[in-house]
Chains A and B, each alone.
Chain A
Amino acid sequence: MKTALSVGAALLSPMLLVSNAYAMHISEGILPWNWAAVWFGVAAPFVAFGLYRLRKLSSVDLSFKPLVGLLAAVVFIISCMPIPVPTAGTCSHPCGTGISGILVGPAISVLITAVALLIQALFLAHGGLSTWGADIVSMGVMGSLAGFLTFRALRSMKVSMGVSGFMAGLFADWATYLATSAELASGIRGDSPFLPLFGKILIAFVPTQLPLGVLEGAMTAGMVVLLYRKRPDLLVKMRVLKPEEVTL
Chain B
Amino acid sequence: MRSQKSRVGSQKRRRIIFAFFLLFTIHCSLCTAVFASGKWQGVDESVVEKYAKEHGREAVAPLINTDRGDLLLFVFLAAGAAGGFVCGYYWRILMVEKAPKTKKEDRGISG
Contacts and interface: CB of A to CB of B under 8 A. Distances in A.
Interface of A: 2-3, 5-7, 9-32, 63, 66-67, 69-70, 72-74, 76-77, 80, 82-84, 86, 89-92, 119, 121-125, 128-129, 180, 184, 187-190, 192, 197, 200-201, 204-205, 208-209, 218, 230-231, 233-234
20 contacts: A5-B91, A6-B91, A7-B88, A18-B76, A18-B77, A24-B44, A26-B44, A27-B62, A29-B58, A29-B60, A67-B94, A69-B89, A72-B86, A89-B34, A90-B41, A123-B79, A124-B66, A188-B52, A197-B51, A208-B43
B42 A17 contact: no
Contact of A129 (B46, B63, B81): B63
Query: Sorted from nearest, which 4 A-B pairs have the closest CB atoms?
Result: A22-B42, A13-B84, A17-B80, A29-B60
B40 A125 contact: no
B18 interface: no
A52 B103 CA distance: 38
Nearest to B99: A231
A121 B44 contact: no
Contacts of B30: 84, 86
A31 B57 contact: yes
A92 B66 contact: no
B77 A188 contact: no
A124 B87 contact: no
A159 B75 CA distance: 42
Interface string B17-46: 000100000010011001100011111101
Contacts of B47: 90, 201, 204-205, 208
A3 B87 CA distance: 12
A124 B43 contact: no
Interface residues of B, number: 57
Given A187-B57, A197-B51, A23 B44 contact: yes
Main secondary structure of the interface of A (DSSP, over half): helix
Contact of B77 (A14, A31, A83, A91): A14
Nearest to B30: A86
A30 B94 contact: no
Contacts of A17: 76-77, 79-80, 83
A81 B79 CA distance: 11
Interface string B85-97: 1111111111110
A96 to B, nearest CB: 11
B2 interface: no
